[in-house]
Chains A and B, each alone.
Chain A
Amino acid sequence: MDMGNDAQKQVGVHINDSSCSRCFICSSLCPFDAIRKDPETDKMVLEIEKCQTCGLCYSSCPAQAVDIIYYDMDSLTRYLEKAKHKYASDTLVIMCKGCAPETEVVEKMFGISEFVPLSVPCVGRVPENIFLKAISSLGMKRIYVLACEEDYCRFDRGSSVATRKILALNLLLDQLGYGRPITLKQNSLKVTVNKDKCIACGNCAYHCPYGAATLVSGTADIDEASCYGCGLCVSLCPAFALELDYWEGDRISAQVSSLMSGKTKPEVLVFRCQWAVFPSLNGTTDPDVGIIELPCAGRVDALHVLEAFDKGAEGVMIAACPEEDCKSETGSKEAQKSITALKKTLTQIGMDEKLHFCSVSPRYPGAFDDALREIKENLANPSKETAE
C-alpha cells in the first residue's frame, strides 16, 4: 500500500464538515451506527472505532463530503483507465470479495471470460458516478455486478444498497438512451461436506458460530441457509471432510507453493483476512512479502503455515481483524487460539519467533504496513524480541 504517509493515526474514512449539508443520509445508512449528529456543534460526527470502513457513507453522500482512503473516485477512475487497456475489453465486472474471490466465479455466474475485473470489498461502496463514468467516458458497453446475497453481506446493508443503486442507474441510463447496461447477480459461498471422509467427530458442529453444522445420521451436515462461508470448520476438521468453495485446502497450498517458488522468493508470507486489510488498487506489492487472502482469519490452517516454512519462508504473519470487528463471529478469536498453539509447538524447535499474529483493521490504513515492518525488523534482529 502506498497510503501510509507520515500521519500517525491516519484513518480510513473522514467527514469533511465544510462540504456536509447535514442531510443525514450517511447516518441513516451506516450499518454500524458510527455516524451521528453532535447536538452541540450540529456537525456530523464519525466514531472511527465503530466504523467498519464499508464505504456506504462515501458512495451515498450527495455532497461528496465523505473522504475515503480506499476506492475513492480518483483511484477507481485511474484503475479503470489502466485496466481497460490491460484487459482490452468493453465489459466491466464489479465483484465483491466476499462472494467472488476468484475471477472464475464470474465465468461461472455470467458465462463471460473476457472482461475488466474490479474487485472491491462490498459493491455497495462503489459510487454511482463510477458506473456513469464507465459507460460514458470509458466506453464500457456492459457492466456486470456480482454482490453477496443480502443475508450474507459482511456489511449488513451493502448488497441491498447496491441493488437499489443499480435499479435506479439502469432506469436513468435507459432514459438517456443507453439501454439497461448493468446486470446484477448475487452469490454466496458455502461449505460442503464429503461424507465419505467425515469421521463424525462433531468438531464442526461444536465450533460453527452460526449453528449451520450438525451431525445427522452419523455424518456432518451443513445447512446451506445458515452457513456464512467463513471456513472456520474447514480449518478445524480433523479429517479434511469439509471444503469452502474457492478456499479449498489444495488451492491455498498451491498458492503457497507458487508464491514460494517464484523468481523473487518472498521473505515473509502473510495469511490475511480479506476484511482486515483492503488492498490498494494500483497493485504495487513489496517483493519481500507474499500475501494469501483468506475469507476470514478463522480459515488459517496450521498446515499451510508449516508448508510456508517448509518452502523457505523466513517468517509467516497472520493478519486478522480485531476480535470485536470479526465479520464471522468467532473467526479471529479461533485463529488466534490456533496460531498461539502452533507458536507454542514451534518454540520446541526454536522457530516461534518466525510466526506472528497481528490484529489490524482497514480503519487505520497504516496498521498492516506497521505490523509488517515490525516482523521484518524482528527477523533481521531476532535477539530483539524477548520471550513473552
Chain B
Amino acid sequence: MIITTQKPLDEILDFLSPYTNILIAGCDGCTQPPRGLREAQTLAQLIELAGKLRGKNFNIKTTTVPKQCDSYITLTTLEPQVKDVEAILSLACGLGPQTITQVLPDLPAFPAQNTVFMGTETREEDVIEERCAACGDCILALTGGICPISRCAKSLLNGPCGGTRADGKCEVDPEKDCAWYLIIKRLEKMGTLSALEEIQPPKNYGQLVTGRVSKY
C-alpha cells in the first residue's frame, strides 16, 4: 500500500485560505489506514475548528472516491458533487490531486497528505515499513523475496556490508533489521544460499529516471 502522512493543518489552511466552499475527497484505495469518508469528515471538523481560530468560516462538504488513481472513477464520483465547490482537498497519495486536476481542470486540487513510501504493516510492532522503491528492475527472485533496494540503508546488491550488528540489525539504524542478514537467513532456510555466489552487476538505475511511462 502507499503510505501517506497528514500535512500540518497550518499548511492546509494556508493554501485553502482564498476559498470558502471546499470539497474534501477521501480515497478508499491503498493508503493505510484508508483515508476514506471518516478521515474526510474528521479533517473537515479540524479545518473548521482551525478556521474559526483564524476568523474564517469554511463551508466544507465531504465525499470519498473508491480510488483516486483511476481517472474514470475519480471523474464520475466527483463531477456530480462539485457544483458551487471552489477547491478540492484530496486525502489520497500524490496521485489524487493530479488525477483531479486532470479530470476537473477548472478546479484547483490540493493535497492534504505527504506521500512517503510503499510499505507493508508489521502487526506485532504496529508499524508500517518501506518495502518497495519502485526501482524498475525487481531482484526479489534472487534475494529470497526480501528487497535490499528499499530495506538496506545502502541499497546493496551484493551484501551485506561490514556494518551488520551482532544482533542482525543495521549499523545505520539499530532499530532496523539488516536486509542482507534477513536475505542470507532466508536463503539458508530455502537451501539456495549458493545463488549469492554469483556477483550481481551494478544495477541499471537508468530505469529510475522520473517521468516513466507504462503502456497498457
Contact = CB atoms under 8 A, between A and B. Distances in A.
Nearest to A307: B45
Contacts of B28: 199, 201, 238-239
B64 interface: yes
Contacts of A236: 33
A348 B8 contact: yes
B41 A238 contact: no
Contacts, number: 60
Interface residues of B, number: 25
B34 A201 contact: yes
Contacts of B46: 306, 345, 349
A318 to B, nearest CB: 16
B49 A238 contact: no
B9 interface: yes
A199 B49 contact: no
Interface in A222-254: 236-240
Given A199-B28, A199-B34, A206-B123, A349 B45 contact: no
Contacts of A240: 37-38
B49 A348 contact: no
Most A-side CB within 10 Å, residue of B26, B34, B48: B34
Contacts of B39: 238
B33 A238 contact: yes
Contacts of B136: none
A203 B33 contact: yes
Nearest to B28: A199
A199 B34 CA distance: 9
A351 B46 CA distance: 11
B70 interface: no
A350 B49 CA distance: 11
Interface string A204-215: 001000000000
A172 interface: no
A241 to B, nearest CB: 9
Given A203-B33, A240-B37, A310 B10 contact: no
Interface residues of A, number: 20
Interface string A22-54: 000000000000000000000000000000000
B53 interface: yes
B123 A239 contact: no
A169 interface: no
B85 to A, nearest CB: 21
A199 B67 CA distance: 10
A239 B46 CA distance: 18
B9 A302 contact: no
Contact of A237 (B38, B45, B50): B38
A303 B45 contact: yes
Contacts of A351: 49
Contacts of B148: none
B34 A203 contact: yes
Interface in A293-316: 302-303, 306-307, 309-310
A302 B38 CA distance: 9
B38 A349 contact: no
B42 interface: yes
A200 to B, nearest CB: 9
Contacts of A203: 33-34
Contacts of A237: 38
Interface in B35-66: 35-39, 41-42, 45-46, 48-50, 53, 64, 66
9 contacts: A199-B34, A201-B28, A201-B32, A206-B123, A240-B38, A306-B42, A310-B49, A350-B53, A351-B49
Given A238-B28, A303-B42, 20 more contacts: A199-B34, A199-B66, A201-B28, A201-B34, A203-B33, A236-B33, A237-B38, A238-B33, A239-B37, A239-B38, A303-B38, A303-B41, A306-B42, A306-B45, A309-B49, A310-B45, A348-B9, A348-B10, A349-B46, A350-B53
Q: Give the 7 A-B CB pairs with smallest separation, nearest first.
A: A306-B45, A238-B36, A199-B28, A238-B34, A201-B34, A349-B50, A348-B9
